[in-house]
Structure 1
Amino acid sequence: MSHAQDERTALVASLRAAGPDAPTLCDGWLTRDLAAHLVIRERRPDAAPGIMVDRLAGYTEHVQNRTAARPWGELLDTIASGPPIWSPYRPVDRWVNLAEMFVHHEDILRGRADPDVRWTPRPLSPEVERALRPTTKLIGRKSLSGLPARITLRTRAGSTLLTVGDGPDVTVTGTVGELVLYVFGRSPVDVDITGDDDAVVAVAGADRGL
């Protein structure tokens, strides 16, 4: 199995444990809504574009609401089976779905967490952390470039993943797993933000993510 498949299996197990009406880190979504999103992304090419394109979002929301109303066990079995053979995600599953499954798995695990309390992350293998690095860099270039500082993402082992933006230097340090969640705009995350005092305050209070 690939890392993406392993994380999918773990995500489905967490969904089963949480039930269909648990909170998530996705604003306004319960676990049933998050599950419906995952199904639409891989199985509804007519509705999936609205996930990223605002003018198509109304139709996507309509389809997602209908999908969320399906029996809970059926939704979970659909996610667990992975992208169907005709899905564009099928041949690239191991490369594009690890971060998707990881971030949404954490959305479930942290759904009841206090966003202002430091989170203790689950340990990830070195192999999974290496596999998450490219997504951290790609998304970080998009999500952090507008922040009021020059942001450097650094692992706790001292490796620099990315430097982006303009202004006073600010360093965000964490494990690769926490850094990928940070660039996706999730909270709580276990990171340290250091640098110019005013810039640190501005970065900590700024919107981030896509």
Structure 2
Amino acid sequence: MPYQLRDLIAGTATELGPQAPTLCSPWTVADLLAHLVVRESRPDALPGIGLDVEVLQRRTRTLQDRVAARPFPELVAQVRSGPAPWWPTRIGVLDRAVNVAELSIHHEDMVRAQPDWAPTGLPGPVQEGLWRTVTSMGRMLTRGSPTGVVVVAQGHGRAALRRPPAAAGTVVLYGTPLELVLHLFGRTEVARVEVQGSAEDLQAFATHRTRL
């Protein structure tokens, strides 16, 4: 699955070009590809990706900028080929657990930053992998919600991510696994998700998501 997504990202990046914008502003397409390369080739860069520590983030930015300056076809080819044989995500089960959501989200970060974009039609196995992300990581991502949260994806199921706090109701999110993942990971403005609930709960939930 992740190799399908790497092919997809490489093709989309080639079509858009290195200077096209992404949703991860100020990153361009070249910057985003550099991020994907660095996170799977430079162990010394990982702390700066996962931790909010300026000195670590500065080190990661320096490495990423260096990679982004490479010839664009070389960068695209490295993303397409994936990590070196010694990198942990060469193991299939780890690759699927770590990269299905990461690669799907970053592909849409390129696509949905362009005018007149349309949602990507992902293969069934990728959507199934994204649904697993929704039902597992979704609980952590909604743990601070002021309302209960339920997600529904036609053909995949229904899952309660958070029980409503005292005196609060529940909002229900409807969408494909891809759209739900985008919403849960903060791409609320471009995620095609229908959110249902009382007016009060909808406002509380929307305000909470905006602050994340």
TM-score by length of 2: 0.88
Residue 72 of structure 1 is matched in structure 2 by 72
Q: Which residue of the other structure, out of 94, 101, 104, is the alignment partner of 2:96?
A: 94
**Alpha-carbon displacement from aligned partner over 1:126-161 (angstroms, at most 9, x marks no partner):** 322212222112331222221221111111348213
| Equivalence map 1:117-156=2 (5 Å) | 120-156=118-154
The answer to whether the 8 Å contact 1:184/1:208 transfers is no
1:209/1:89 Cα in 2 relative to 1: closer, same or farther (>3 Å)? farther
Where does the alignment leave 5 or more consecutive residues of structure 2 unmatched?
none
Structure 2 distance, partners of 1:34, 1:73, is 14
Verify the 8 A CA contact 1:153 1:172 in the aligned structure 2: yes
Q: How far apart are the structure 1 equivalents of 2:211 and 2:113? A: 17
Letter aligned with residue 144 of structure 2:
G
Q: What CA distance in whole angstroms lies between the structure 2 residues aligned with 1:93 and 1:194?
A: 34
Deviates more, 1:164-173 or 1:81-90: 164-173
Give the aligned partner of residue 170 of structure 1. 171
Q: Is contact 2:135–2:161 with CA below 8 Å preserved after alignment?
A: no
CA–CA separation in structure 2 for the residues paired with 1:7 and 1:209:
30
Change in Cα spacing, 1:201 to 1:209, as seen in structure 2 (3 Å) is closer
User: 1:18: how far off?
Assistant: 0.7
Higher helix share: 2
RMSD after superposition:
2.1
Partner amino acid for 1:203?
A: F
In structure 1, the gaps of 5 or more residues are none
Give the SS at the match of 2:151.
Answer: strand
Shift of 1:15: 0.4
| In 2, Cα distance between equivalents of 1:9 and 1:209 | 34
Deviations 1:20-73 (Å, cap 9, x if unpaired)? Answer: 111111132111110110010000111122111111212111111121111111
Q: Percent identity of the aligned residues?
A: 38
C-alpha displacement at 1:113, in angstroms? 4.8
SS at match of 2:90: coil
Amino acid at match of 1:176: P
Instruction: State the distance in 1 between where 2:211 and 2:176 align.
Output: 18
Equivalence for 1:54: 52
Equivalences for 1:6-45 in 2 at 5 Å?
A: 6-45=4-43
Alpha-carbon distance between aligned partners in 1 of 2:95 and 2:211, rounded to the nearest angstrom: 23
* Cα shift readout 1:162-206 (whole Å, capped 9, x = no counterpart): 321533211111111111111111130111011010221232233
Aligned-residue offset at 1:209? 9.6
SS of 2:196 mapped into structure 1: strand
TM-score relative to the length of structure 1: 0.88
